[in-house]
Amino acid sequence: MTIDAQRFKQAMRQCTGAVALVTVGTKPGQRTGLTVTSACSLSDDPPSLLVCVNRNASAHARIRAEASFAVNFLSEDHTLLALTFSGQKGHNGDDRFSFGQWIEGTTGAPLLNDAVVAFDCLLAQEFETKTHSVFVGNVQDVRVSTKASPLVYLRSSFQSVRDIQDPFSLGDLNARRSSWSNFS
């Protein structure tokens, strides 16, 4: 059984996704990027992540050509950047970098200076699907901010995780007992 695209999209809107900017371009005037919720870790040996990019996106061909990219996970203060890089504010290509504070990563890719975390990657592999490519990046450098609260996308809107109540760590034995006792 195959479901239609609309039903699939409605279902996916119920899944929380971390919001990130995939950026590429080593020189001002040649940079571009896009907003994604399709980036995640792949392995720690070697440290790598994957990101799915629509083949129609301007960043797609640039990632292939430059063989490097950055994945910048946004904070709750970056909603305007998320909208800008999604194309909803009318800015394209290098004009999107007029917003935010950008630095050059090890690979030359643009890193958002105050991102929750920014991964600077060399392109290791690419897998094509009908509409997207899955890019695997070997992480060359990482910048982490422990003070920022992540931005997520849920039910067709940007949200802060700041309102999540009673967080606990899976490393906390009492929390694990409490959590799993509810299933017994």
Domain region containing 42 = 5-181
Strands (E), 30-116: 32-36, 39-44, 47-54, 68-73, 102-104, 110-112
Q: CATH no. for residue 100?
A: 2.30.110.10
The number of distinct structural domains making up the chain is 1
Cα–Cα distance for residue pair 105/128, rounded to 1 Å: 26
**pLDDT tens figures, 50-105:** 999 999 999 999 999 999 999 999 999 999 999 999 987 777 888 899 999 999 99
Residue of 55, 57, 68 lying closest to 92 (CA atoms): 57
Please give the model's pTM, rounded to 2 decimal places.
0.85
**pLDDT tens figures, 170-181:** 666 665 565 555
